[in-house]
Amino acid sequence: MKAIYRDGCPVCGGAISSDRLAKGLPCERCLPEEVPRDRLKEMNLGGPLGQYFKIEKEVEEAERVFHEVTKSVFWSAQRAWLIRALRGESFSIVAPTGMGKSTFGALVSVLFAKKFGKSYVILPTTPLVEMMYKKAKPFADILGVEVVKIHSKMSKGERKEALEKFEKGEFGVLITTSRFMINKLDELTKFKFSLIFVDDVDSVLKSNKNVDRILQLLGLNEEDLKELWNIVNKEKRIMRYLLNTNDPEKRLSFLEELEEIEERVKELRMKVNGILIFSSATGKVRTNRIAMVRKLLNFEPGGTSEGVRNVIDSYTREGFVKVVKALGKGGLVFVPADKGLSFAEEVARKLKENGVSAEVVSSERVNVIEAFERGEVSVLVGVATHYGVLTRGIDLPHVIRYAVFVGVPRLKFKLKMDEPVPRAIVNVLRIAVEVGFEEYAKIYKELAKRYRSLTQQAVEMLKERLMNGIVETDLEKLFMKGFEIIRNLASKPEFVERVRRSGFYEIVEEGGELYLLVPDSATYLQASGRTSRLYAGGVTKGLSVVIVDSEHLFNGLKKRLRWVIENWYPFEQLDLGELLKEIDEDRRKVLKVLRGELSTNEIRNLLKTSLLIVESPNKARTITNFFGRPSIRTVKGVRVYEIGLGNRILYVTASGGHTNDLVSDSDPLCIMEGGNCLYYGIEENGTQHLTSIKRCMVCGTQFSEEINRCVRCGSKYLKNSKEVIEGLRLLAEEVDEVLIGTDPDTEGEKIGWDVANLVNPFAKKVLRVEFHEVTKRALLEAIDNPRPFNFNLVGSQMLRRAEDRLIGFTLSPKLWFDLWPRYTNTPVACKISRNLSAGRVQTPVLGWVIKRYEEYKRSRKKFYIVSYGEGWRETFPEDSFGLKPTRKDVERSTVVVKYIERWEETVPPRPPFTTDSLLEEANEVLRLSADQTMKLAQDLFEMGFITYHRTDSVRVSDVGIALAKEWIAQNFGEELFVPRRWGQGGAHEAIRPTRPIDADELKLMIEEGTITTAKPLTNKHLQLYDLIFRRFMASQMREAKVRKLKLEISLEELEAIITKDLVEEIVEAGWTLVYPRIKVEVPPPEGSYSVKEVIVRSWNTVPLYSQADLIRLMKERGLGRPSTYAKIVSTLMERKYVIESPKQRKLIPTKKGMSVYFYLTENYSDLVSEERTRKLEELMDAISEGKASYDKVVRSVIEEVKWIPIKGSPLSNSL
The annotation places the binding site at 78
Residue 660 parent element (H or E): strand 660-662
Cα–Cα dist 614/623, whole Å: 10
Look up residue 365 and give its DSSP letter.
B
Q: Is 668 helix (H, G, I), strand (E, B) or coil?
A: coil
DSSP 977-1032: B-----S-SSS---B-BSSS--HHHHHHHHHTTSS--SSPPPHHHHHHHHHHHHHH
For 1027-1168, list the strands marked E by DSSP: 1040-1051, 1056-1068, 1087-1100, 1138-1140, 1147-1149
The amino acid that residue 813 corresponds to is P
Ranges of H-type helices in 541-645 = 551-560, 576-594, 600-606, 617-625
Cα–Cα dist 213/222, whole Å: 9
Beta strands 638-644 and 860-868, pairing class: unpaired
Residue 1072's Cβ-side half-sphere holds a number of Cα atoms within 13 Å equal to 17
N-term to C-term CA, the chain? 30
Residue 807 parent element (H or E): helix 791-814
Q: Are 119 and 195 in contact (CB under 8 A)?
A: yes
As to burial, measured by CB atoms within 10 angstroms (0-12 exposed, 13-18 middle, 19+ buried), residue 468 is exposed
Q: Is 528 helix (H, G, I), strand (E, B) or coil?
A: helix
Q: Between the CA of residue 66 and those of 113, 679, 863, what are the distances in Å?
A: 16, 56, 92
Q: Between the CA of residue 930 and those of 655, 750, 924, 977, 1034, what are the distances in Å?
A: 25, 24, 11, 32, 23
Residues 6+ apart with CB under 8 A from 53: 40, 41, 45
Q: Between the CA of residue 113 and those of 78, 91, 193, 833, 936, what are the distances in Å?
A: 18, 18, 9, 64, 53
Catalytic sites, residue numbers = 948
Cα–Cα dist 799/1045, whole Å: 53
Query: Residue 438: beta bridge partners?
Result: none
Q: Are 1179 and 1193 in contact (CB under 8 A)?
A: yes
Cα–Cα dist 427/415, whole Å: 11
Cα–Cα dist 646/276, whole Å: 25
Angle at 934 between CA 933 and CA 940, to 5 degrees: 90
Q: Are 490 and 514 in contact (CB under 8 A)?
A: yes
Q: Are 543 and 332 in contact (CB under 8 A)?
A: no
Known binding site for ATP: residues? Answer: 78
Residues 6+ apart with CB under 8 A from 162: 148, 149, 150, 154
